[in-house]
Each structure stands twice: as C-alpha cells, then as structure tokens.
Amino acid sequence: MTEHVVPESLSEFWHKTVLLDEAVDALAITGVRADGIYVDGTFGRGGHSRKILEQLGSNGRLIAFDKDPQAIATANTIVDPRFEIVHDSFATLAAALQERNIDKVDGVLLDLGISSPQVDDASRGFSFRADGPLDMRMDTTRGMSAAAWLAVADEQIIGKVVRDYGEERFSIQIAKAIVAGRAIQPISTTRQLAHIVASAVKTREKGKDPATRTFQAIRIFINKELEELEVVLDQAFAHMAVQGRLAVISFHSLEDRIVKQYMASKATMPQPDRRLPIRAVDLPQPQLKLIARVKPSDAEVAANPRARSAIMRVGERLPGKLGEQA
C-alpha cells in the first residue's frame, strides 16, 4: 500500500528526526483511532509522517503541511492513498480542513523550528557556518528574504527583532552595526551578516557563535514562526476530537513558552465564587489533559546533538462540558 522511497537527488541533506518514536507514540494511534484523521503540521523530510503511516489503519488519513518546496518534493515521493501534502503553513490548518469537509481530527503533531537540510544547505541562508545568500525563507517561492528586509528595515525595528526573537542583550549595538554596514555595501550573504554581528558583540557566550541569536531572531521574524504557532495551536484545538492528542516539539524557549502557556490555559479553568449557587453541571471544566513533557534521551542526543534542546509537550482533548462525548 505504502511506498516510501527517497530519491538520491533529495537525500544530499538528510534529516534525523528528533523524538521520532516518542512523538508518534504520543498520538496514541491504536484501536479504533488507527482509522482516524491525523495532521503532521511540519512534514520536513517525512520522518514523523512515515512513522504515522506505519501505524494508521487502512481507513486512516494523514494530512501534512510544509512551506519548504524541497520538503514538498520529498513528500511527493510518498505513494499512499491515505497521505496528502499541503504546500502551505500549518497556520492554514483550519482552512485546509474546511476545504476537505473535515470537522474533527484525532491528532496533531508539530515539530517546530528548522530542519537539518535547511541548516546544512548554504544556499538557504539559515546558517553562518558556510557562506551563502542571506535568504532564510522556509518557503523560497514567496515573501521577503532576510537580505531584502535588512536592506530597508528601520534601525529600531531591527533592534527590537533581535532583542525579542533572539533574546540578545547586544541588540541595540547589533542594529546600529547592521545599519552602518549596509550604508557601505548591501548585506547579501550570511558571512557578511555574521562578521557585522561579531564586531558588535563585546562578550561571547562559551561555545556559542556571537551570531547565533541574531540569525535565530531574523529567521523567526522573516518566517512569522511565533505568530503562526499561536494561530495553529488555536486552530488545532478547535478541530480536535475528544481524546485527540496534540504533541508539539519545541527547540528554544520562545516556542516552548507559547506551547506551555497555551496548554496550561486549556488545562485549568477559573474557579467560580463558592458563594454563588452554581450546579456542578454548569461549572467550568478543563478542556485539555496534560499528558507528558518529554526530552530526548542521552543516547539520542549523543547520536544527534541537534536534539539536545528539544522539548515535547503532549495534551489530550477533554470534553468541553460534563457529559460531552467524542
């Protein structure tokens, strides 16, 4: 039924999926749920999607999303009637489900951040470790590149982006250096930007390149990563069947904070004034059960150092009110 062949042309920059077994196990695809509808919001190179398809029943369905054209090319090699890839952000989840007349799904998996192929391919501009065009777009077919944005952005805006999305204490100095640098020549390559940032950062964190936080910040901003995460959490929850699972893998504190706070808000309800005559059936009920917080094992981190910062949070949809059924 399923053919999972990766063409040689697509395997040059291969991705080692983080928390592969743990993430798919968290979706609890067993029994009648094996014939349910699942969403992989971040296909990447398909590690999680392929594992989900192995566990799906013959009537199951998997809808995956990705903005990256290279990820879409990989997804198109999967020949399986239960699988569909959507070339768009996971923030379009609600619209995609509506187009397919789907009201509820049984599980949503989000593996946030960027993939190893995106980092390792210098032509994508995500990394300062090799020189390449300063692009940073996950979807290279649309939107403004990092170079184009840095060419026109106001100094205060650059500083705010670097501060808020990179948690960089030298954000003001970096913004000034970028504006001064672009006045001399356009900042069009990753190495140019890395050198400018290094000149503005006076003290360096042990074991971390001074450009790390700035590159992270600009990438997050260019791709609207945090805004789209907030959107998809709401949409996923709104379309989650009772007992459906939401599993989210984050790789830095900004993402994880959003996920943690969102899940906590759904897992707790404000307590009413005990002096008021309220029936038990009318009391607010938690909408989400916090299932797990999972980090990679020592063995996984040893085999894949990029997994070291990963945190997965898992929640299960509860009835919205007493007596509600799946």
| Residue owning tokens 């989650």 | 240
DSSP string, 35-76: GSEEEES--TTSHHHHHHHHH--TT-EEEEEES-HHHHHHHT
The response to whether 47 counts as a known ligand-binding position is yes
What does residue 18 show for φ and ψ, rounded to 5 degrees? -85, 140
The response to whether 111 counts as a known ligand-binding position is yes
DSSP string, 230-248: HHHHHHHHHTEEEEEEEEE
The angle subtended at Cα 241 by Cα 30 and Cα 37, nearest 5°, is 55
Dihedral of the alpha carbons of 305, 222, 184, 189, in degrees to the nearest 10: 40
From the CB of residue 160, how many other CB atoms can be counted at a distance below 10 Å? 17
Sign of CA dihedral 297, 303, 307, 308: positive
Residue 3 in tokens: 């053919």
Q: Closest Cα partner for 40 from 65, 61, 58, 22?
A: 65
Alpha-carbon distance 194 to 196, whole Å?
Answer: 6
- DSSP 8-state secondary structure symbol assigned to residue 292: E
Q: Would you give the distance in Å from CA 214 to the centre of its chain?
A: 19
The response to whether 66 counts as a known ligand-binding position is yes
Give Cβ neighbours of residue 223 (< 8 Å, ≥ 6 apart): 67, 136, 137, 138, 143
Alpha-carbon distance 90 to 246, whole Å?
Answer: 14
Sign of CA dihedral 321, 33, 105, 251: positive
The response to whether 46 counts as a known ligand-binding position is yes
* Strand, coil or helix: 273: coil
The response to whether 118 counts as a known ligand-binding position is yes
CA distance readout (Å), 149 to 59, 146, 214: 46, 5, 14
The response to whether 48 counts as a known ligand-binding position is yes
Residue ranges for the known binding site for S-adenosyl-L-methionine are: 46-48, 66, 90, 111, 118
Q: Which residues are annotated as a binding site?
A: 46-48, 66, 90, 111, 118
